[in-house]
Amino acid sequence: MQIIFENHDFVIFNKPQNLNFHSEDGEAGFVVLATKQLHVEQLYSVHRLDKMTSGLIILAKTSKVANRFAKMFLNKEIQKFYLALSLRKPKKKQGWVKADMGASRRGTYKLLKTKENQAITQFHSSTCRAGERIFLVKPHTGKTHQIRVALKSIGSPIAGDVRYANADEAKKEDRGYLHAYALGFTLNGEEFSFVCPPFDGERFLSDEAQKTLLEWAKPWELFK
């Protein structure tokens, strides 16, 4: 797997899509594969990505550093940006989705009408090829399936997402079109920022999508 950055405290991988985060049904997951790749006894997960999601993910090298990252996530001191692509026109081209989330059927989630512990998602979008819309998404909270549910709620489920888009259509796609695109944080007084475009997915690699990614090369500037 591609290593984006490594120092004595942590390592950042570009996780492939269609790979479970933890081992499942006898199949080695991302954390196990990363540990073997670095020839170390243990790496510590501080956040996770769904199986269908590719992109940037942090693994700490010690429990002490893992605890520091955990506090940073809790205090919203780590900026995360995602790319998503949909085959449906959104109800709004940019803005916010703010609502509580609750369990729905068959391992999915849904937005609720209450506002007690909201999932907060901010997004921009742009047209790609005919029938395609690409999204730059900044989650301000870290709920399970948050981005997938948020985009479905505005009428733009993610292409290739068999749980939240039309299942028959989704199965025809070459991947689920959600990618952890950028990370930014400060650790030990040093500022870190990483941007990692997706390397697979025909729709992500189209000329139109690539042109948009050039415009989104510094995603934190779009969300000031």
For residue range 75-87, what is the model confidence (pLDDT) as tens digits?
999 999 999 999 9
- Give the whole-number percent of the chain exceeding pLDDT 90: 89
In angstroms, rounded to a whole number, what is the distance separating the alpha carbons of residues 21 and 32? 9
The rounded percent of the chain whose pLDDT value lies above 70 is 100
Predicted structure pTM score: 0.95
User: In order of start, what are the domains of the chain with their CATH numbers?
Assistant: 2-223 (3.30.2350.10)
130-184 pLDDT tens trace: 999 999 999 999 899 999 999 999 999 999 999 999 989 999 999 999 999 999 9
Of 121, 65, 128, whose CA–CA distance to 98 is shortest? 121
Please write down the long-range contacts of 89-95, taking CB distance under 8 Å and 24 or more positions apart: 89/133, 89/155, 89/156, 90/125, 90/133, 90/135, 90/151, 90/154, 90/155, 90/156, 91/154, 91/155, 92/154, 93/124, 93/125, 94/123, 94/124, 94/125, 95/122, 95/123
174 annotated active-site: no
The active-site residue, picked from 50, 100, 161, 174, is 50
